[in-house]
Amino acid sequence: MASVPCLVSLSLCLLVLSHACSAQLEQVTSQHGWTRVRGEQRRGEGYSLDECQFSRLSAREPDRRLTSEAGVTDVWDENDDQFRCAGAAALRHTIEERGLLLPAYTNAPKLVYVDQGQLHCIFAGQGYHGAAIPGCAETFQSQEESQQQQDPRQGFRDQHQKIRKVREGDVIALPAGVADWFYNDAQTPLVLVQIMDTSNPANQLDNNFRKFFLAGNPQQQIQGQRGQFSGQGFQRGESQSQSRRGGSGGQEQRSGNIFQGFDEQFLAEAFNVDTDLARRMKNENDNRGVIVRVEDRLQFLTPEFSEEERSEYQRGRPANGVEETFCSARLKQNINDPSRADVYNPRAGRITSVNSHNLPILRSLRLSAQKGHLYQNAIMAPHWNINAHSICYFTRGTGRVQIVDENGRSVFDGEVREGQILTAPHNFAVVKRAGGEGLEWVAFKTNDQAKISQLAGRVSSMRAFPEEVIANSFQVSREEARRLKFNRDEVTLFSPGSRSQYRA
């Protein structure tokens, strides 16, 4: 009889384990495929993943432009299929000299690409980025030596967390919920392209992109278009034409920073300040937008480079080999430096990737990025993305892109140019060819170790197949199969040949 309770206990344990394994398998499937656990829960929120057919794609330019005191913000429409189904949102900030992008955090992890800025930010005039990592100490401190002995706390002029210098080509990774800011101290504009992964498991809200400002009185349209905040709650169903005007009736609607919703007395008590200062934190009459101009140049603590550190920084490497902790984790990696290219063909171009191998924080964000540079009329091998969507922002030049779905139908075949975004869905076949001025892009990928499989070239699927398989599959001779398999001996990037002349 004693065996009966044991059998019951064993059965219960197996039942619990089976449920746990099933849940874990479902979670893994959601990370690498279309069906996401949270996606299924959101089918009543405005769309179903079954609707994501990607039958027609387009190279999109921004749908809205928001003007601030010291720059502009361009916003892509989240309702477009390539953003909606890929679970992504896109912004572009152009920050003028002495412009400060106000502190804010988002409901989803994001990658920021510095599309324009100083090439070598170790000199005067540069861009800066600050992130407030929760629970980490303010490791940058300054003291007035004359007051240190009396009261060390009175001697601190300022203390804050680490501030990072940014330059053109940097990719900056930010987890969901981490507040950050940017400042441009250079005479040339600082252009930041941001991609937010709203379908990431870190986002516990719905699939709408939401940006929570800690200061200012931002315009409402910077919030996700599938669901926008106003002072009276959550709104849905606003048409695109209304959104471009700023709401119904053509009146620009506003949404404030998060302090506007708090009672002044609560704020005063929480910060241990008077109510007048607490009231000013709400910025209720602030019309400067999300990028404000600093009257005098922003003053903060940042160490000077030694010659050795300057050389290390230019190569994009950390200054020492100490293992990263959460508070000291690297948040950025430069992918513009030709010497860091992962693939290089002197007649075709280069490709540089940043993923969880060379920027470990991307492992928790489940994101990566790739910078591509094709020379005149060169081709990137036809391929498909094995485990990620690829959201391409074209930074320079022109070219032609073709994307084909599982039925062999062309869902995109057209010209692309600087400033446009085009999404290559997971597993769809893609080919790119540069125009007469070449073509450059940065691809944001929804996997921290994104992989591609090539259809042509030395490391392609065609090379892996036996000649007999190729000959019988395409109904060609062995000689023709051999040409298909071996005629292109380059890897990933192909130099232009007699058949590669680009026509716009």
Question: What pLDDT shows up at residue 474?
Answer: 95
Question: What pLDDT shows up at residue 219?
Answer: 61
DSSP assignment letter at 250: G
Class of residue 445 by CB neighbours under 10 A (exposed 0-12, middle 13-18, buried 19+): buried
- The two most distant CA atoms of the chain are separated, in Å, by 91
Q: Per residue of the chain (504 residues), give pLDDT as tens.
A: 445 455 545 555 554 444 444 443 333 333 333 333 333 333 234 445 556 767 789 999 999 999 999 999 999 998 888 898 899 999 999 999 999 999 999 999 999 999 986 554 444 458 999 998 887 867 666 655 434 444 444 544 667 778 889 999 999 999 999 999 999 998 999 999 999 999 898 988 888 899 999 998 886 545 554 544 333 232 333 333 333 333 333 444 557 899 988 999 999 999 999 999 999 999 888 889 999 999 888 776 565 554 444 555 455 454 444 445 667 788 999 999 999 999 999 999 999 999 999 999 999 999 999 999 999 999 999 999 999 999 999 999 999 999 999 999 999 999 999 999 999 999 999 999 999 999 999 999 999 999 999 999 999 999 999 999 999 999 999 999 999 999 999 999 999 974 545 444
Amino acid at 411: V
How many Cα atoms are found within 13 Å in the side-chain-facing hemisphere of 257? 24
Cα 173 from Cα 194, distance rounded (Å): 10
Measured from the Cβ of residue 116, the count of other Cβ atoms closer than 10 Å reads 17
Question: What pLDDT shows up at residue 191?
Answer: 96
Question: What pLDDT shows up at residue 150?
Answer: 47
- Angle at the Cα of 119 (from 114 to 123), degrees rounded to 5? 120
**Distances in whole angstroms, Cα of residue 390 to Cα of each of 162, 292, 445:** 31, 33, 5
The whole-model pTM stands at: 0.79
Tell me phi and psi for residue 249, to 5 degrees: 75, 5
- Angle at the Cα of 331 (from 65 to 208), degrees rounded to 5? 40
Beta carbons of 444 and 369 less than 8 angstroms apart: yes
Beta carbons of 234 and 227 less than 8 angstroms apart: yes
Cα 445 from Cα 451, distance rounded (Å): 9
Question: What pLDDT shows up at residue 296?
Answer: 83
Cα 159 from Cα 153, distance rounded (Å): 11
How many Cα atoms are found within 13 Å in the side-chain-facing hemisphere of 31? 16
Measured from the Cβ of residue 406, the count of other Cβ atoms closer than 10 Å reads 10
Amino acid at 226: R
Q: Which of 109, 118, 72 is nearest to 334 (CA)?
A: 118
Cα 280 from Cα 264, distance rounded (Å): 9
**Distances in whole angstroms, Cα of residue 489 to Cα of each of 27, 352, 357, 451, 499:** 40, 20, 28, 20, 16
Measured from the Cβ of residue 277, the count of other Cβ atoms closer than 10 Å reads 12
Q: Which of 97, 18, 32 is nearest to 389 (CA)?
A: 32
